[in-house]
Structure 1
Amino acid sequence: MKRIMCAALLTAALTTGAGVFAQEQQTTGESTLSPKFGIKGGVNLTNMFVDDVSDENMKVGFNAGFFAKLPVARGFSIQPELLYTSKGAKLTYDNIIEGEGEYRFNLNYIELPVLAVINVAKNFNLHVGPYVSYLAEANIKDLDDDGDMDEIADLNTDNFNRWDYGLVGGLGIDISNFTIGARYNYGLKEIGKSGSLSGQLTKDSRNSAVSLYIGIGF
């Protein structure tokens, strides 16, 4: 379902681009196209793609940072961003040795998406593009069935691939200098290092995130 959603967003952005260049990128108070710089933040609903594990669970995180909207033509802009974003998942376990519980993967990235923003109406736009991110912090906690939570000291940033990259597709609504929107991030890089404990626990999974945000430009 997530892959279908991502493909639909990417396809919609690309197929509508040809007919929307008559739409405006400036606000009602501006007479010419002008770049904007702003701040944004919101909520992440994250998970991990795992090839042979079906009990991964969504984790709630956050995103915050800066963006620039650089007009290229009427109806088309390039939007680079610099974000601090929290990803990961909850993976449940149930075995004789450990009992029942869940691992909580908390992965915090410094992320740089570069998006093409295409207006399909004066205040409504689609955006699509790549992202690259760097793992700044990682901690994995073990919550057992008694409610006790312990940090797994053997797993930290050195046990995960520091670099991640993938695709972004989404939509936004711009009202004057305010913007709200939703996106889907589809990771293409494995999270855990191959042959390591992190690789075994994450089963060669990749990041997956739905981001909801609000922002203001200046």
Structure 2
Amino acid sequence: MSIRLQVINNRKTKLLETMKKITNRLLTGLGIASLLFFFSPQVTAQSDNPGPRIGIKGGLNFSQFFVDQPTVEDENIKVGLHFGIFTKIPISSFMAFQPELLYSNTGSKVAYGGTEVGSLLGIREGEVRYNLNYIQLPLAFSVNLGPVNIHAGPYLSYLVSANVKNLRTSDLTTTNTIDLNNDDFNKIDYGLVGGIGFDLRNVTIGARYNYGLREVGREGLAANLTNRSRNSVAQLYLGFGF
């Protein structure tokens, strides 16, 4: 029992450390955005009726699963990419609807320890990297305060591909690999997005957080390895509107 409590405490500590890392990355990105905003000579406030906008955007993903599994010894952020198109449709002088269509790469890097419980679930000691690639449809509503926008809303994603790779196994053999693919993970994911951005004429820059509401693993080994995991993704983005 004491060992399990220690594992739980270690997981809580790791979770707090990871959230601090994500927060620091977001704050760094927002700091850069703020400097660009305040020192750019081209900054202008939005007009009362800016009209619909369409554009392209892309940036970095910082994702992690937060696996609720006592065999997990360590879990690290995976850096990925997202890119796609967006449109901004005014609803009023200060509010707009902003649907997007994005390709988004998420996942995590997880180290598992060898335990009797883990072996019964098919979990071996080793380190595994998860790569999940989605087509994502965020449907955000934004409040525009001059060139600053605060946005939030739901998102819906479809899993187009999944790649799970052993980075390290206890016996270091090439035959002892994890064989998981798209069918082992839920094809549909949904959740919430929220963030802040700055519009510098035709350029938009900002940070966003995606919180998944559906478990990643579907059944069997994938469900055991990613027990109760949901997509958790912090994003930094840059976009160009037309």
TM tier, shorter chain?
0.7 to 0.9
Q: Give the letter aligned to residue 98 of structure 2.
A: Q
Equivalent-residue separation in structure 2 for 1:111 and 1:45 (angstroms): 16
Structure 1 equivalent of residue 107 of structure 2: 88
SS at 1:49 equivalent: coil
**Is 1:172 matched with 2:217?**
no
Distance 1:126 1:41, change over 3 A: same
Structure 2 equivalent of residue 24 of structure 1: none
Distance 1:145 1:35, change over 3 A: same
Structure 2 equivalent of residue 33 of structure 1: 50
Structure 2 equivalent of residue 17 of structure 1: none
Given the alignment, which residue of 39, 58, 63 partners 1:46? Answer: 63
- Count of residues paired in the alignment: 194
Distance 1:31 1:122, change over 3 A: closer
SS at 2:225 equivalent: helix
SS at 1:102 equivalent: strand
After TM superposition, the score normalised by the length of structure 2 is 0.72
Within a 5 Å distance, the mapping from 1:2-21 to structure 2 comes to: none
Equivalent-residue separation in structure 2 for 1:179 and 1:36 (angstroms): 11
**Is 1:125 matched with 2:154?**
no
Equivalent-residue separation in structure 2 for 1:168 and 1:151 (angstroms): 38
Q: What are the superposed Cα offsets for residues 1-39 of structure 1, whole Å, 9 maximum, x if unpaired?
A: 65xx99xxxxxxxxxxxxxxxxxxxx6696743100000
Given the alignment, which residue of 128, 134, 137 partners 2:161? Answer: 137
Larger CA deviation: 107-116 vs 121-130: 121-130
Q: How far off its partner does 1:213 sit?
A: 0.4
Larger CA deviation: 144-153 vs 64-73: 144-153
After TM superposition, the score normalised by the length of structure 1 is 0.80
Equivalent-residue separation in structure 1 for 2:148 and 2:124 (angstroms): 50
Within a 5 Å distance, the mapping from 1:62-211 to structure 2 comes to: 62-95=81-114, 101-119=126-144, 121-144=145-168, 152=177, 154-194=179-219, 196-211=220-235
Distance 1:169 1:151, change over 3 A: farther
Equivalent-residue separation in structure 1 for 2:143 and 2:45 (angstroms): 18
Unmatched tracts of structure 2, length 5 or more:
1-15, 24-43
Taking every aligned residue pair, what percent have the same amino acid on both sides? 48
Q: What are the superposed Cα offsets for residues 41-87 of structure 1, whole Å, 9 maximum, x if unpaired?
A: 00000001323456321100000000000001111000000000000
Distance 1:109 1:150, change over 3 A: farther
Distance 1:148 1:176, change over 3 A: farther
Larger CA deviation: 124-133 vs 50-59: 50-59
Equivalent-residue separation in structure 1 for 2:218 and 2:192 (angstroms): 21
SS at 1:199 equivalent: helix
Task: Return the index of the structure with the highest Cα Rg.
Answer: 2
Unmatched tracts of structure 1, length 5 or more:
7-26
Structure 2 equivalent of residue 19 of structure 1: none
Does the Cα contact within 8 Å between 1:142 and 1:150 map onto a contact in 2?
A: no
Does the Cα contact within 8 Å between 1:141 and 1:150 map onto a contact in 2?
A: no
SS at 1:95 equivalent: coil
